[in-house]
Amino acid sequence: MRIASTQYHATMNTALQKANERLSDILQKMASGEKFSLPSEDPVGAVRLSRLTREEAALVQYRENIATLKGRLSQNEAFLDGMISDMTSARDLLVWALDGSNTAADINAMASSIQPIIDSLFYAANSRDAEGRYLFSGTLSDTAALTYDPAAALGARYTYTGNAGRQLVAVAAGVQQAANVTVQEMAAMLNQLDQVRAVLSAPGVSANDPVVRAELQAALNVTDQTLNVTAGKIAGLGGAQNILSTLDANHQNISLSNRQAALVVGQLDYADAAVKLNGYTTSVQATQKAYAQVSKLSLFEAM
């Protein structure tokens, strides 16, 4: 084929332009460390990377939820622990009062010791968070868990005014964990303690009086029941903590494998890039040398 002289220049221009394009592309990639800078370079890779990023964002949030939730559960556990020690003190007093050798004055003194325990339990059950919302009233966060009505008959002055609603927190896709504990059994015990306090504070009360003994026995029973239920709740909280720790570890593992996958999909293989850079550089040098040689060939030089 007949070749026009300008064709050499055109070919050289095209070759150099292509080579420069490739060089600038590989340099940009080496600078950023990314395998592709635009989705069109690898649409499928871009989709995978984007989905991994979405999943990673969700995992980070679940892990944050778990961390906050674990804090809330520990706080609940601390409150319940406090209640248990109060209830244990009340139980000790009741057992002591059942001892028939106590004098009336002793029993009256015990009665006066029961009141602060009742107050402490009432106060603990109505604990609030920083924004003034009740912690143990179920989903009725604006309502106190326990209400005291001095006008009501003795033994019915404490009522549970919360509900059994649970505040669920998303801790994994489709997995929810309750963040709150309710204390509806506390009202019955407080009423019974209130009643026994009134009986024991009567002048000349005797532990050998069958009526008094029956009151004491009933109070002891309800206290034991409440202790058991509360201990069960603490155990439940411990179990929830374990589940959350396991979930967190799972999230962490998935997150790690996602990040590894993202590296494989999106990160530049520097060895490969370096080899390509070398290849492109060599090809540019060779083209330049060839052009210098070819452009020297002119019959006019020989004339």
CB 58 within 8 A of CB 173: yes
Phi/psi of residue 267, nearest 5 degrees: -95, 145
CB 122 within 8 A of CB 146: yes
Residue 300 found at the interface with another protein (CB under 8 A): yes
Which single residue is written with the structure tokens 């890039």?
273
Which of 241, 248, 240 lies closest to 63 in space, CA to CA?
A: 248
Query: What is the four-CA torsion angle of 77, 82, 88, 89, rounded to 10 degrees?
Result: 180
Residue 146 C-beta: closest distance to another protein, Å: 16
Window 43-72: residues binding another protein (CB under 8 A): 43-44, 46-47, 49-51, 53-54, 57-58, 60-62, 64-65, 68-69, 72
Q: Which of 126, 137, 192, 255 binds another protein (CB under 8 A)?
A: 137
Residue 213 C-beta: closest distance to another protein, Å: 42
Residue 90 C-beta: closest distance to another protein, Å: 29
Q: Which is nearer to another protein, 39 or 238 (CB)?
A: 39
Residue 182 found at the interface with another protein (CB under 8 A): no
Window 200-219: residues binding another protein (CB under 8 A): none
Please tell me whether residue 98 adopts helix, strand or coil conformation. Answer: coil
Rounded distance between C-alpha atoms, residue 45 and residue 60, angstroms:
22
Query: Residue 14 belongs to what H/E stretch?
Result: helix 5-32
Q: Which is nearer to another protein, 165 or 236 (CB)?
A: 165
Q: Which of 12, 109, 170, 268 binds another protein (CB under 8 A)?
A: 170
Residue 141 found at the interface with another protein (CB under 8 A): yes
Rounded distance between C-alpha atoms, residue 302 and residue 59, angstroms:
76
Type of residue at 139 = T
Name the residues that contact another protein, by CB under 8 A: 1-7, 10-11, 14, 38-44, 46-47, 49-51, 53-54, 57-58, 60-62, 64-65, 68-69, 72, 129, 131, 133, 137-142, 163, 165, 167-170, 173, 176, 179-180, 297-300, 303
